[in-house]
A = this chain, B = another copy of it.
Amino acid sequence: MKLSGGVEWAVHCCVVLSQAEGPVPTQRLAEFHGISRTYLAKHLQQLSRAGLVTSTEGRVGGYLLTRPGDEITVLDVVQAIEGREPAFRCTEIRQNGPLPASPQVCQRPCGVNRVMQLAEQAWRESLRAVTIADLAAGVLQDAGPQTFDRVREWLAT
């Protein structure tokens, strides 16, 4: 079980975008984080499709958050990148073999499946409890109060 590496990129980008004053192009975002521009573009498009971000095309275009940072949860970002498919996918092996479960028993998910989905639910709730704004506040806490001033300054270059 492994999360896509793009999740890390996307979260960081959202934090930066939450502090930006205008549209930020992919080029800038990639440069800032020292990562691949072309590949990051793919992830930003996923954020766009998920409705977390709007894009303005053409020159001086780029990406903007559609909502303020405190209305975007980490879960939103993770699901935009990872998709909404559950990590545990049952293949219904209980229907195989010499003692298959009867069709009516299989109407509803079994205990195994329930436990797994419940655990993923707990995971999602935990991610839902934190917003991009919370993370931005954490950065300020860790790296100093003028951090985002410097970021904005560099972005304006």
A-side interface residues toward B, CB under 8 Å?
A: 1-5, 7-9, 11-12, 31-35, 74, 82, 85, 87-91, 93-94, 96-99, 101-102, 105, 110-112, 115-116, 118-127, 130, 134-135, 138-139, 142-143, 150-151, 154
Contacts and interface: CB of A to CB of B under 8 A. Distances in A.
Contacts of A34: 93, 96-97
A106 B1 CA distance: 26
Contacts of A96: 33-35
Contacts of A5: 89, 91
Tallying the copies of this chain within the complex gives 2
Given A7-B88, A111-B142, 18 more contacts: A1-B82, A3-B87, A5-B91, A8-B90, A11-B112, A33-B93, A35-B96, A74-B116, A99-B154, A101-B143, A110-B138, A115-B135, A116-B127, A119-B126, A119-B127, A121-B126, A122-B123, A123-B126
Contacts of A120: 123
